[in-house]
Amino acid sequence: MRGPPLFLCLFSMSCWVNLMPTAGDKILHFGACRVSMSMAEIRAGFTAIKANIVSISQALGDRCCITYQLFTFYVDKVFKHCRTEDSFVNRKISSIANSFLSTRRKLGQCVSPASCPTLNVTSAAMKSLGELDILLDWMEKSR
């Protein structure tokens, strides 16, 4: 009968150690979840590569095509699913969506959308990595 209490004690200790932040870590709260992360290390790494990411993503393709494709994504996928209980917020989302739609139409006049290469995974990944600071800011404010 000595095994189960010993196991429970060891298991509790391992959970406790995993929740304790190491030097420089922050404990972030996401609802009921608490996660320890080294935000300083992540930010330092991001800062070190951000300039290179921007230049790489600019070299990945025609900026007009990429912008057209990003606006298409927002118009077709994002804004269609953004609804809140607040009518004021919904009107503002609708206004932004209409602006994106108008801009996408204008971009479509100066570039043939059919001639734009599909936004490939590498381009999308580099674009997302270039905006990692937005995610990090949001994570740190989620306390």
In sequence order, the 6+-apart residues with CB closer than 8 A to the CB of 41 are: 24
Strand, helix or coil for residue 136: helix
β-pair partners for 69: none
Q: What is the pLDDT of residues 76-103, one digit of tens each?
A: 988 989 889 999 999 999 999 999 999 9
pTM: 0.54
- Per-residue pLDDT tens digits for 2-39: 455 544 444 444 444 344 444 568 888 877 888 888 88
| Nearest Cα residue to 130 out of 70, 47, 61, 74 | 47
The pair of three-digit structure tokens given for residue 13, joined into one six-digit string: 């200790």
